[in-house]
Amino acid sequence: MNGYTQDKEDIARRLKRVEGQVRGIGDMVSSDKYCIDVLTQISAATKALESVALLLLSDHLNHCVVEAIEGGGPEVSEKIQEANDAIARLVRS
């Protein structure tokens, strides 16, 4: 189904924290905090999201892609293509 089962709670916890960071950034803007301080927090939230993405991708390769290849069949090249597209989106975002 998905490859992140063993990291699910960790990922959920990290996303909860990023959600709180982004809400905090919104509060900084509402209370007119200094631009540079807002930018620092945005960079931190972006890095945290990237880090979750890298964990998900690693889980995906280790489980979904490995299982697809072990199972064989036409699904393999589709799975690899999908992973490559996700990597390209990450590298370019």
How far CA 60 is from CA of 48, 76, 86, in Å, comes to: 18, 13, 11
CA gap 43, 31 in Å, rounded: 19
Return the number of the residue (36 or 74) whose C-beta is nearest its own copies: 36
Element (H, E) at 10: helix 8-30
Q: Is the CB of 74 or the CB of 93 nearer to its own copies?
A: 93
Q: Which residues bind its own copies (CB under 8 A)?
A: 1-5, 8, 11-12, 15-16, 18-19, 22-23, 25-26, 29-30, 32-36, 38-40, 42-43, 45-47, 49-50, 52-54, 56-62, 64-66, 69-70, 76-77, 80, 82-84, 86-93
